[in-house]
Structure 1
Amino acid sequence: MENRPVKMNNHTNLLQLEEHIYNLVDVQTPNVYRNLFPYDEVPKIAFNDRIVPHNMPEEIWITDTTFRDGQQSRAPYKTEQIVKIYDDLHRLGGPKGIIRQSEFFLYSKKDRDAVYKCMERGYQFPEITSWIRANKKDFELVKEIGMKETGILVSCSDYHIFFKMKMTRKEAMNHYLSVIRECLETGISPRCHLEDITRSDIFGFVIPFCLELMKLMEEYKIPVKIRACDTMGYGVNFAGSVIPRSVQGIIYGLITHGGVPSELIEWHGHNDFYKAVTNSTTAWLYGACGVNCSLFGIGERTGNTPIEAMVFEYAQLKGTLDGMDTTVITELAEYFDKEIGYRVPERTPFVGRNFNVTRAGIHADGLLKNEEIYNIFDTDKFLNRPVLVAVSNTSGLAGIAHWINTYYKLTADKQVDKNSPLVQIVKEWVDEEYEDGRVTVLTDEELIDVITETCIKLGISLKK
């Protein structure tokens, strides 16, 4: 104890006793944490009540994987679609570039064409990075294109090392280190994707591996990033939960024991257990500067952490949007729907068609009196999405007029009121529906059909 060095933590301003160095534990049989992950049962969440302190960095940011992990789970985007989305990510990230990077495949000519066209934009943010196969030919390609960084897969759980790669931990580590060194030799900064970290041996493999990566960074004077990949969505944010499932435990370990600076740590989460957003926020709170996301959460299986979710998590944690243009989120949702043919599920927060639509009669009454009662924030200001009240038998003339004005985004001089012939005719139709025994609210499509038909009869036009 007496010989272990004490050093100042400049973030907490506290003296800390350095932990011992963790060496690779080269086991003969894989540690698959069968006590936590019994395959024929639901996974277990265990606790040891070891609490780690909050450690949020001064700067936090978002990185994008829409064109990489997002694109793996759907038909490939066309080149012009990628360029359009990239333009919008630039606008969304604002002047401070809160959306810091966007990663691209380089496998095909079409992939590379999209990269070249995006690079021609000349944006500082999102910086264009790549995802490649770990070989010298691809490293040279990254350098030739003019990128400074690339992602490299370094699977870290025994599930992957033993069962997929058919290696021991020592063999895997030596293989990974030789590949990373090869990347550094070409002058490219490697971003190490530690796949399946939430089922890995943190102290027996991950920490020793990160210590070796930090030595390489010191040797080559080139940043080596760590992306902590919760590939199966097993991560949890509960205080006192045990690693490898504890998100804060993993981040704490990477920083305190692995010596990885916060600005070189990213969290990449999946949503298999509905925890992608919460886990990403937790990674920020406990020391990771970056969270890796995709638009609308589109990604493998249940998807990635949605970019739009983390934009609003950022604002809640920092008390400011820092210049991010959140109206772009709505534009992107509309573009995906109309141009790409991908419709976001209706009740998805921020982007779903019904995310700020009030349907219950008693709620609608309150919302018509003051929208703050049942709206999360000024959705018109931040998302160009005025709050809507669904029409039912309790809506009345005022409710129908409100629906028409907000759905069609009518300017003050074109708005209708309860005395409008259009509103009165629609109200008569609504009453007839419920007199016939209907009990459900009316859908947008039904109302649009009736309103369109009535407008033609009345010789008027509603321009949305």
Structure 2
Amino acid sequence: MDTTLRDGEQTSGVSFNAREKLSIARLLLEELHVSRIEIASARVSQGEQQAVRAIAEWAAAKGYADRVEALGFIDGGVSLDWLGTAGCRVVNLLAKGSRKHCEGQLRRTPERHLEDVRAEILAAVDRGMKVNLYLEDWSNGMRRSPDYVYAMLDGLADAPVSRFMCPDTLGVLDPYDTERFCRDLVERYPSLRFDFHAHNDYDLAVANTAAAVRAGFHGVHVTVNGLGERAGNAPLSSAVAVLHDRLGRTTGIDETKINRVSRTVESYTGIRIPANRPIVGASVFTQCAGIHADGDSKNNLYFNELLPERFGRVREYALGKTSGKANVLKNLEALGIDLDEAAMRKVTERVVELSDKKEQVTAEDLPYIIADVLRYDPVDTPVRILNYSLSLAQGMHPVATLRIEIHGCAYERTSAGDGQYDAFMRALRQIYREQLGREFPMLRDYTVSIPPGGRTDAFVQTIITWEMDGREFKTRGLDADQTEAAIKATVKMLNIIEINYNDNGC
């Protein structure tokens, strides 16, 4: 069960609107093929109820109504009314899974709480709803008051509950305790179905999830990108890979769609995926050490089961001081460039030299490095900026005038924009679309980094991700002015795409 839209939304600063929730629900059920999704908590807001209604209506039309769940509370039917009005047919009731929570938070005796829970379950069934039951703080319940947990399950074993869901609410378990506690319940209650719900406070959520499955639990809860309160929940991507590869289990998840869904959720939340996050991080399928690239060329010596193609990605080879000739060779092969041994050595030395200066070297930089090292004349590049003027005035849109040479032909355009770089790009797009009659790459991402220290004259590094003909690539510009850095990155992009075109005359 994916609970990105409920538990994941408890991440600090994350709030999905109704359209985003419906979009993510569609991706999870129709593309990823997640078994179930938990979409909301009852009684949050009117807007949340509208979001639940939109998803419930869509799910009913698609035949997914029994796969859409929402959290409800033991509150005398108030949550059930709220969810029923929204059209939700599956409720995950939140009961207490530890004596401490029962007596300390609810001020109820275990016996009274059990009565309340049974009454809520029956009320939900009377409304035609399917019921699952969370045992909140179950992990601490098993540690400190197992008799309380057993009494709850004994008292509800004959109740119409589809799944008993056991959360490590405070993220305190390790895999050894998880397997022991889960196996205990499976053996005591062989007729009941159990889910495990991990939190990642000790960075053990995926390991604990695997331990629960190994012990015989029937379902696990995850979130896209590991979203969730505090340190988050078990990330869907890693949990799926571990279940498939280490435990040999099947989930029905389409692994090739994981990266796309992760990036979509990243864009909605604004929370960047760490570059080294397994499966979906930007650099996890990038080989940096030259010895690894060399091994990949010799019967894939450094491959494991996590092949990037499984997840809709490709393997890359980083360029830096540890990369060596093998990494440079891999990138040149991808670019279709063939160099002799002497030239290869010079290019590799230049890559190492640039890396020692802390500059980021990318595959797209290689043609420029080659031109520099082998003393090619830089004026031979197909695109040159002849001149440009940027104006900024208070209360007026910035304006850019651009004069550019492409394959020996000069073009000029003036355009206004929402910023100086936007005005520059609008003028450039007009040249390409109106004067050249060609498509222009889509700008997919734009990041700026400034070295620490607070100096106003510090270099600005601008990295822009472009997409053209279904292929993404990045270019970098470095300058003391942010707009100039962006323009330099853009010119690099132009010279990359213009390699594919010949001079057609002016």
Q: TM-score, normalised by structure 2?
A: 0.65
Determine which structure has the larger strand proportion and give its number.
2
The equivalent of 1:409 in structure 2 is none
- What 5-or-longer segments of structure 2 have no aligned partner? 363-462, 465-473, 478-488, 502-506
**Alignment partners' CA distance in 2, 1:158 and 1:247:** 19
1:259-301 C-alpha deviation (Å, 9 max, x unpaired) = 3635x21100111112111111121121211101111110011
**Alignment partners' CA distance in 2, 1:404 and 1:114:** 49
The equivalent of 2:213 in structure 1 is 284
Structure 1 position 163, deviation (Å): 2.8
CA distance 1:174–1:223, shift in 2 (3 Å): closer
Contact 1:361-1:394 within 8 A present in 2 as well: yes
The amino acid that maps onto 2:301 is I
CA distance 1:358–1:317, shift in 2 (3 Å): closer
**Alignment partners' CA distance in 2, 1:78 and 1:190:** 26
Larger Rg: 2
The amino acid that maps onto 1:249 is R
1:103-162 C-alpha deviation (Å, 9 max, x unpaired) = 323432322332333331534458111112333132133334443321122122233223
2:498 is matched with which residue: 450, 460, 463?
460
Whether 1:229 aligns to 2:206 is: no
1:66-110 C-alpha deviation (Å, 9 max, x unpaired) = 01110011421122222221121123444xxx5234332343232
Whether 1:91 aligns to 2:30 is: yes
Moved more, 124-133 or 76-85: 124-133
Identity of matched residues, %: 21
CA distance 1:229–1:457, shift in 2 (3 Å): closer
The equivalent of 2:385 in structure 1 is none
CA RMSD of aligned residues (A): 3.4
**Alignment partners' CA distance in 1, 2:178 and 2:214:** 10
The equivalent of 2:183 in structure 1 is 252
Q: How does 1:383-422 map to 2 (within 5 A)?
A: 383-393=311-321, 395=323, 399-400=327-328, 402-403=330-331, 415-419=335-339
**Alignment partners' CA distance in 2, 1:292 and 1:462:** 48
**Alignment partners' CA distance in 2, 1:112 and 1:461:** 53
- What 5-or-longer segments of structure 1 have no aligned partner? 1-62, 239-245, 407-414
1:193 is matched with which residue: 126, 130, 134?
134
Structure 1 position 385, deviation (Å): 1.4
The amino acid that maps onto 1:204 is D
1:367 is matched with which residue: 291, 296, 299?
296
**Alignment partners' CA distance in 2, 1:357 and 1:92:** 26
The equivalent of 1:442 in structure 2 is 360
The equivalent of 2:21 in structure 1 is 82
1:214 is matched with which residue: 147, 157, 176?
157
2:200 is matched with which residue: 271, 284, 306?
271
Q: How does 1:8-157 map to 2 (within 5 A)?
A: 63-73=1-11, 74-94=13-33, 98-107=34-43, 108-119=45-56, 120-121=58-59, 122-125=61-64, 127-135=67-75, 136-157=77-98
The amino acid that maps onto 1:449 is R
1:410-459 C-alpha deviation (Å, 9 max, x unpaired) = xxxxx422349xxx89x75x744644781768355497227864554577
**Alignment partners' CA distance in 2, 1:236 and 1:438:** 41
**Alignment partners' CA distance in 1, 2:17 and 2:194:** 31
**Alignment partners' CA distance in 1, 2:42 and 2:361:** 44
SS in 2 for 1:282: helix
Structure 1 position 307, deviation (Å): 1.3
Q: Which has the higher contact order (CA 8 A, sep 6+)?
A: 1
CA distance 1:442–1:153, shift in 2 (3 Å): same
Whether 1:180 aligns to 2:180 is: no
